Amino acid sequence: MTKGKTKTPAKAKQRKPGIVPTVSVGTGGEWHQSATGDQGGLTTNQGLGISDNQNSLKANPRGATLLEDFILREKITHFDHERIPERIVHARGTGVHGFFELTKSLGKYTTAKVLTEVGEQTQVFTRISTVAGGSGSADTPRDVRGFAVKFYTKEGNWDLVGNNVPVFFIQDAIKFPDLVHAIKMEPDRGFPQAATAHDTFWDYISMTPESMHMVMWIMSDRTLPRSLRMIEGFGVHSFRLLNAAGDSTFVKFHWRPKLGLQATIWDETVKIAGADPDFHRRDMFEAISAGAFPEWELAVQLFSEDDAEAFPFDHLDATKLIPEELVPLQVIGRMVLNRWPDNFFAETEQVAFCPSHIVPGMDFSNDPLLQGRLFSYLDTQLSRLGSPNFHQIPVNAPKCPFANHQRDGHMQMAQPTGRVSYEPNTLAPDSPREQPVIGFHSAAAGETGAKGRIRAERFADHYSQARQFYRSQTSFEQAHLASALVFELSKVEHPHIREAMVGHLRHIDEDLAQRVASALGMAELPPAPAAAVAVQEFAPSPALQLIGKMKDTLEGRVIGLLVADGSDPDSIDAVTEAVIAAGARVKMVALNIGDAKLADGSRLKIDGQLAGTPSVLFDAVAVILSEEAAALLSKEAAAMDFVRDAFGHLKAMGVDKGGDALLKKAGIKPDAGVMAIGALERFVAAAKTRQWQREASVRTLA
């Protein structure tokens, strides 16, 4: 038998020892050897060879450090300035390179080559982020995920800067600073970090009825992704496509993960934050290193101005979505992420996305949120990256030629030649000129009506799609959503805020309001606020479920095997083989790291020590133990937690006799999701999903 079949992630690309990269100024990120130091030697930023990198210059062996030590000062000064301002939102992110391949031409609707040249591969850089927390916060708070893709097209960079939720909190950009201030740490106390469960957030939301649809999404399991590889992405706003005749069609963009959607259970999420704050980043890193490249389909919803008129909502309102049942999705391509950045700071931190980066054949809609974003991103990059030349940073630079007469500024890396820096000119016939035919054109959209600080009338319906979302969910998802509201509102100190929120819920669904009110200990339902317009009854949309979008696969999943000295090698082998054949990875967990000595005397490599490798890190578990080991582990709190949590988090569990004994000690009453290790097919099938029916037996949900 083969032991320890765990696929160890391939070693990340490493530079040869001894070849020390030095500066990269003006070289587009290529490293080169020092000019004056020894070959491959350490130098200052001026190329001066460094003779001693361990001792600063002292007046005598026990004397003061001298101000003269310019080498020490250069090194410390550079270090002191290593951080740049983090993003005010979306500070915590994971970035990966890859490509986009078009599979269906949209030539009828657009001239954009990235959407018309079937088979063409366009390089991309994708950054997936949380919104609320700082750059050092954990990966797994309840939060929307940003989903930003930079396409380096032949016609310039196109940034599709979306989220993993198709709607947003507000309808107008002027509200964004207030919304973000309300979400972030409260300014007097500096907490909570990366959490909406506090007074200022819910105070603001309770005063903002347009947020109610988004509230349904963020309280659903969509904001607890199992992996960044298992989330959808949405462009959120309507954009326009323009064809050669100048005709315009509205478009919404959707990313759909090949691995399907998968979420964690709230209690599990909380524990993951402690067990591995980098859970999502590590998962992506390991997947890329192992060659398991995540993939998404790009799909579009296309519709005309007339179609839009007939919708029972306004598509320019970012708190609304267009149900897939109303305008079906057309898959037009795929994105594969296949290369981890060489350097986190240079690429993931310095990448600058701007929704204003579009290419000829595309245009914006009048969505007032999008219109504000068109200003905000360029502005924020200027303060974050400190210079109008941020487009020269390799990760931001277009991969097609680009040229204009913009000059100078902080950190100018290019060295333009010649005496002409203006257009038109007669002095430099080869200098860049306007491109009237293939250059960017805006849609010739007519604008009428009086100027004013106005909200379109049809934006006033705040509850209909919130109701549609809630009523489209399975009963399990509804219970999670109701319980999430209870958790969040229970952290709110001011009763009037809780009551105002429950009042809003009454417009969405009386039963939901009642469930939340009861769990919050309210004697009676608070009054509902006046709604601006009557709530419309929309047909349920199953596409809004997360459970409905899970896939029947084990790919991308990790199964944990709890083993010990004396475990049965054949059982370990059988589970490992079945699980790997189904596309998952396996990790061995034992009381101690190193090797376990199995019943036949062979040795098995252990991947994780029990105390640091709880079952929350796995999608399903198998417990394979000798009876002596089971007795020993029953005195080990981490082992008890391992099985109790796996059970409580609705995971499939495979057990042998010893495993079964451990479960008994832990007080677990086995159900259909707990099976003898021999029932491999059943185990693999159950590991693909959660044991939803078990939930009522392990948790009181609202």
Please say if 53 is a catalytic residue: no
* Helix (H) or strand (E) segment spanning residue 561: strand 558-562
In angstroms, the CA 69 to CA 72 distance is 5
Give me the least distance between CB of 408 and ligand HDE, in Å please. Answer: 24
Contacts with 197 (C-beta within 8 Å, 6 or more apart), sequence order: 142, 487, 488, 491, 492
User: Does the N-terminal peptide bond of residue 424 adopt cis geometry, omega within 30 degrees of 0?
Assistant: yes
Our finding on whether 377 is near ligand HDE (CB under 6 A) is yes
Q: List phi, psi (to 5°) of 634.
A: -70, -10
Q: How many CA atoms lie within 13 A of 628 on its CB side?
A: 7
Say if residues 646 and 583 touch (Cβ distance below 8 Å): no
Binds ligand HDE by CB under 6 A, chosen from 125, 158, 353, 476: 353
161 lies in the site for ligand HDE, by CB under 6 A: yes
Indicate which single residue of 6, 37, 44, 89 sits in contact with ligand HDE (rule: CB under 6 A).
89
Q: Are 164 and 233 in contact (CB under 8 A)?
A: yes
Q: Which is nearer to ligand HDE, 161 or 663 (CB)?
A: 161
Q: Tell me the closest approach of the beta carbon of residue 596 to ligand HDE, in angstroms.
A: 42
Measure Cα distances from 72 to 24, 66, 84 in Å: 21, 10, 22
Q: Which amino acid is present at 544? A: L
Query: Counting contacts by CB under 6 A, is residue 127 touching ligand HDE?
Result: yes
Rounded (10°) angle between helices 510-519 and 495-508: 150
618 lies in the binding site for ligand HDE (CB under 6 A): no
| Stretch of residues binding ligand HDE (CB under 6 A), selected from 65-73, 160-168, 255-263, 458-466 | 160-168
Which two three-digit tokens encode residue 97?
A: 């390179």
Q: Which amino acid is at 193?
A: Q
The neighbouring-strand residues paired with 43 are 49
Q: SS3 for 625?
A: coil
391 flagged as catalytic: no
> What's the min distance (Å) between Cβ of 373 and ligand HDE?
5
Omega before 436 within 30 of 0, i.e. cis: no
Residue of the chain from 22, 34, 37, 87 that contacts ligand HDE (CB under 6 A): 87
Place of tokens 């000019």: 35
Residue 373 touches ligand HDE, criterion: CB under 6 A: yes
Among 4, 134, 372, 398, binds ligand HDE (CB under 6 A): 372
Does 93 contact ligand HDE by CB under 6 A? yes
| Residue 383 CB contacts under 8 Å (≥ 6 apart), including other chains | 85
Q: Is 376 in the site for ligand HDE (CB under 6 A)?
A: yes
User: Which residue lies nearer to ligand HDE by CB, 237 or 690?
Assistant: 237
Instruction: Select the residue whose beta carbon is closest to ligand HDE and give its number.
Output: 146
Q: What is the DSSP string of 277-330?
A: TTHHHHHHHHHHHTT---EEEEEEEEE-HHHHHHSSS-TT-TT----TTTS--E
Q: Which of 140, 157, 163, 389 binds ligand HDE (CB under 6 A)?
A: 163
The least CB distance from residue 297 to ligand HDE, in Å, is: 19
Q: Which stretch binds ligand HDE (CB under 6 A): 102-110, 258-266, 374-382, 456-464?
A: 374-382
Q: Which residue in 90, 280, 462, 480 is the catalytic one?
A: 90
Least Å from the CB of residue 293 to ligand HDE: 20
Q: Which is nearer to ligand HDE, 93 or 341 (CB)?
A: 93
Stretch that binds ligand HDE, among 84-92, 192-200, 322-330, 593-601 (CB under 6 A): 84-92
DSSP β-bridge partners for residue 595: 605
Smallest gap from Cβ 71 to ligand HDE, in A, equals 35
Q: Which is nearer to ligand HDE, 148 or 675 (CB)?
A: 148
Half-sphere exposure of 32 (CA within 13 A, CB side): 13
In terms of CB distance, is 236 or 300 closer to ligand HDE? 236
Give the x-and-dash track for 24-63 against ligand HDE (CB under 6 A).
----------------------------------------
Interface stretch with ligand HDE, choices 57-65, 86-94, 461-469, 668-676 (CB under 6 A): 86-94
Stretch that binds ligand HDE, among 263-271, 287-295, 372-380, 481-489 (CB under 6 A): 372-380
Binding residues among 296-325 for ligand HDE as defined by CB under 6 A: 318
Of the residues 163, 164, 389, 396, only one is catalytic, namely 163
Q: Does 130 bind ligand HDE (CB under 6 A)?
A: no
**Binding residue for ligand HDE (CB under 6 A) from 243, 356, 380, 518?**
380
Pick the binder of ligand HDE from 138, 173, 194, 265 (CB under 6 A).
Answer: 173
Backbone angles phi, psi at 476, to 5 degrees: -65, -45
Q: How many residues bind ligand HDE (CB under 6 A)?
A: 25
Residues near 637 by beta carbon (within 8 Å), at least 6 away in sequence: none
Give whichever of 47 and 177 is closer to ligand HDE, judged by the CB atom.
177
Question: Closest separation between CB of residue 690 and ligand HDE, Å?
Answer: 28
> Strand order of the sheet with strand 674-676?
608-609, 585-590, 558-562, 620-623, 653-655, 674-676
- Outline where DSSP puts E strands in 225-271: 233-234, 239-242, 248-257
Restricting to residues 239-278, name those near ligand HDE by CB under 6 A: none
Q: Kindly state the smallest distance separating residue 339's Cβ from ligand HDE, in Å.
A: 17
**Nearest approach, Cβ of 335 to ligand HDE (angstroms)?**
15
Residue 588 and residue 580 in contact, taking contact as beta carbons nearer than 8 Å = no
Q: Determine the length of the chain.
A: 702
Shortest distance (Å) from residue 265 CB to ligand HDE: 26
Question: How far is Cα 431 from Cα 443, in angstroms, rounded to an integer?
Answer: 28
Between helix 495-508 and helix 199-206 the angle, nearest 10°, is 50
Contacts of 233 (CB under 8 A, 6+ apart): 147, 149, 162, 163, 164, 253, 254, 255, 296
- Decide if residue 236 touches ligand HDE (CB under 6 A): yes
Of the listed pieces 213-221, 376-384, 667-675, 690-698, which binds ligand HDE according to CB under 6 A? 376-384
Catalytically active residues, by annotation: 90, 163
Query: Residue numbers of the site for ligand HDE (CB under 6 A)?
Result: 87-90, 93, 127, 129, 146, 148, 161-163, 168, 173, 176, 236, 318, 351, 353, 369, 372-373, 376-377, 380
